[in-house]
Amino acid sequence: MDALLKRYALEPNKVYAPHDPEILSELFRKLSLTYHDRGRFRQEYMDLKAEEILACLAMQLDIALIIHQTYYFSVEFIKKCMSLQKADRCI
């Protein structure tokens, strides 16, 4: 598990807020259903689903960071434009 956390740049014992929790909920449902199954390759499937959960979370965190950065730069651009408009009125 430590190797997977490192691969997806996730920290252990940290709470993350996913952008779209429904996707993760569906993966957890599949994982829990498989846990009670006794079928062949059960453990391999569960390992893959666990990795898929971490990959999905990491992807959502990247998207959230891009949205946050875009929002920040948009706000800064608007502030700059507004200050330029005020300067034009003062002349």
pLDDT tens, residue by residue, 24-73: 899 889 888 888 888 899 999 999 998 998 898 888 887 665 555 565 66
Nearest in space to 58 (alpha carbons), one of 5, 15, 14, 3: 5
Model pLDDT for residues 59-68, shown as the tens digit of each residue:
888 766 555 5
Distance of alpha carbon 65 from alpha carbon 38, whole angstroms: 40
- Contact between 60 and 18 (Cβ < 8 Å): yes
Q: In degrees rounded to 5, what are phi and psi of residue 38?
A: -115, 20
pLDDT at position 75 over 90: no
